[in-house]
Amino acid sequence: MIHRDTILLQTEFPGKDKAISTAAAAIRDGELVAFPTETVYGLGANVYDEAAVLRIFEAKGRPADNPLIVHVASIEQASELVMELPESFHVLAEKYLPGPLTLVMKRNAAVLDCVTAGLETVAVRMPDHAVALQLIKDAGVPIAAPSANISGIASPVTAAQAYNDLNGKVYAVLDGGPSSVGIESTVLDLSSDEAMLLRPGMISKEELEATLGKTVNVADDQDAKPRSPGMKYVHYAPTVPLVLFLAQVDLRTKLVAEIGLYLEKGKKVALIGPDSFEDLGAASFYSFGSGSAVEYARHLYSALRYFSAEDIDILLCPGIEETGPGLAVMNRLRKASSRIIGP
Ligand code: TXA
Ligand code: MG
């Protein structure tokens, strides 16, 4: 379905309820709507409408074997989708939901194959965003939604970024302001007895282990970045090549030297990183504020979208420690980078 003009629905007072009910009606009618969450913007459809769900894959250019997350507004709605809610779900829900945590459980017959890519499990998430929760409630159905980007590039964290990617491909973009977290939810598989981290996020492995009182295993492909430069597995790709420096003692010195090398070759270098790195001599700088993992996450995707190949030849980024939420930030940075410089 081609929509020549995607509608941008603002949710500022006093038009908020009207904007959300318009978006909800569109979802019920089988349309696609991009909507805000606290992590990143989602590209939503009625989970029970097969034609609409299939159009999500088409709009994003997403392979059909990559399952979608189902967004719910209540625990009761989550229970509509699964065989049963395991005890570990309740323990985690009590502490983190609504919030940036997606839980994978055994699905029931109500869930369409196209949503789960034929898997016996379904990923369920309750976003911590008032506009998203009201949208799901008004729609009256759970909303299947991947991130609202074109496949391969950074997820959108503002309505403008979602609009940029999806104009002409969706009925509407619902604007709920910038996403506060900035990277996608933690994905945890609860479908077997051992809890398995499928994607790191701001709710960290360590935190989940403390809450569950047991070890959380990490899926293998987690931080594995294919070594081949073949660009076969493209994720979060900026339009300018990104060089990532892993956390190391002489990070500043190494960055200054690297910037110097590019300058000698007449290349325009941009640096993305904490304020304390602003003075290293790069032609352009994008701030990650204090440089905490929370600030890195909040600014990362906008930074990756900010620079264009017309203005900048190379992007450099200092990495952070890969523990707690730092693991999630570094997971995205590793996947976005074309070169990684270790200690
Ligand atoms: O923060 C988020 O999770 C955002 C917002 C919009 O909620 N959504 C998001 O969706 O990041 P997406 O489609 O970009 O990423 C979903 C991830 C994929 O890695 C997918 O393979 C995995 O979740 N996933 C979905 N269903 C699954 C399942 N049944 N089993 C294992 N992994 C699943
Ligand atoms: Mg995505």
Is residue 62 lining ligand 1, measured as CB closer than 6 Å?
Answer: no
Q: Are 326 and 231 in contact (CB under 8 A)?
A: no
Is residue 199 lining ligand 1, measured as CB closer than 6 Å?
Answer: yes
| Residues in CB range of 269: below 8 A, 6 or more apart | 259, 262, 263, 282, 283, 284, 312, 313, 314, 315, 316
In a structure prediction context, what are the per-residue pLDDT tens digits for the chain, which is 343 residues long? 555 789 999 998 889 999 999 999 999 999 999 999 999 999 999 999 999 999 999 999 999 999 999 999 999 999 999 999 999 999 999 999 999 999 999 999 999 999 999 999 999 999 999 999 999 999 999 999 999 999 889 999 999 999 999 999 999 999 999 999 999 999 999 999 999 999 999 999 999 999 999 999 999 764 444 333 333 346 677 789 999 999 999 999 999 999 999 999 999 999 999 999 999 999 999 999 999 999 999 999 999 999 988 899 999 999 999 999 999 999 999 999 999 999 8
Number of helices followed by number of strands (H, E) in the chain:
11, 16
DSSP 8-state assignment for residue 76: H
Sheet holding 284-287, edge to edge: 284-287, 269-273, 314-318, 242-245, 339-341
Is residue 179 lining ligand 1, measured as CB closer than 6 Å?
Answer: no
Q: State the closest ligand 1 atom to the C-alpha of 122, by its place in the atom list counted from 1.
A: 29
Is residue 98 lining ligand 1, measured as CB closer than 6 Å?
Answer: no
Q: Are 293 and 284 in contact (CB under 8 A)?
A: no
From ligand 1's centre to the CA of 252, what distance in Å?
36
| Residues in CB range of 41: below 8 A, 6 or more apart | 34, 35, 147, 148, 155, 156, 157, 158, 159, 161, 162, 173, 179
CA–CA separation, 256 and 271 (whole Å): 11
- Residue among 53, 108, 128, 147 whose CB has most ligand 1 atoms within 8 A, to mutate: 147
- 164: closest CA among 30, 23, 305, 315? 305
Q: Are 45 and 135 in contact (CB under 8 A)?
A: no
- Residue among 40, 184, 335 whose CB has most ligand 1 atoms within 8 A, to mutate: 184
What is the pTM assigned to this prediction? Answer: 0.95
From ligand 1's centre to the CA of 209, what distance in Å?
21
CA–CA separation, 107 and 81 (whole Å): 6
Token digits of residue 244: 């990532």
